[in-house]
């Protein structure tokens, strides 16, 4: 398990992120139209997994906006914005902000995602939500970059994440 903080207070996650050089677990998540989305849907693409607790918080919203602006210029790359929020919250947020270059996905029907990726928060007031993390895979599905953000209220290292794709 990883230990992170929420406003300086220690909390824990269900495990560790997939290691650089490994392949992340397969997944099934829910799209905004309530259909399933699986890892197979993105085969052959480079993937940015932007994982966060809730789209309705300022830092999470900032990460979705930032990766949306960066994604438009990246070849053969898809940005998956993943949280336990209901798909309706993802839809509302993306429509209001005009975000079209990210794929919002919900883990609300798949608690296995958080456990498999080591990002389910297991202690503290956010138990059951996902921690803030960024994982990047190449077109072969191999992890190039993995960042478990140590403080929930902190933004990820965007420059390092994008550099992994160049």
Enumerate the active-site residues: 60
Residues 6+ apart with CB under 8 A from 11: 3, 4, 5, 121, 122, 123, 124, 126, 152
Q: Enumerate residues 6+ apart whose C-beta is below 8 A from 6.
A: 124, 125, 126, 151, 152, 153
Alpha-carbon distance 124 to 49, whole Å?
24
Residue 39: count of CB within 10 angstroms of its CB: 17
**Closest by Cα among 108, 92, 99, 162 to 134:** 162
Indicate the DSSP class of residue 130: B
Strands 3-6 and 9-12: antiparallel
């Amino acid at each position: 398990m990883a230990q992170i903080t929420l406003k300086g207070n220690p909390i824990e996650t269900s495990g560790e992120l997939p290691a650089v050089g490994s392949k992340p677990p397969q997944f099934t998540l829910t799209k905004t139209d309530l259909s399933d989305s699986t890892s197979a849907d993105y085969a052959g693409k480079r993937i940015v997994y932007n994982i966060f607790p809730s789209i309705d918080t300022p830092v999470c919203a900032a990460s979705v906006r930032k990766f949306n602006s960066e994604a438009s210029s990246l070849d053969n790359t898809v940005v998956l914005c993943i949280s336990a929020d209901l798909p309706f919250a993802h839809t509302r947020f993306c429509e209001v902000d005009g975000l079209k270059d990210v794929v919002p996905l919900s883990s609300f029907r798949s608690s296995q995602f958080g456990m498999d990726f080591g990002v389910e928060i297991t202690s503290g007031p956010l138990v059951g939500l996902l921690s803030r993390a960024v994982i990047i895979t190449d077109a072969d599905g191999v992890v190039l970059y993995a960042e478990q953000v140590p403080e929930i209220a902190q933004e990820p290292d965007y420059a390092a994440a994008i550099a992994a794709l160049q």
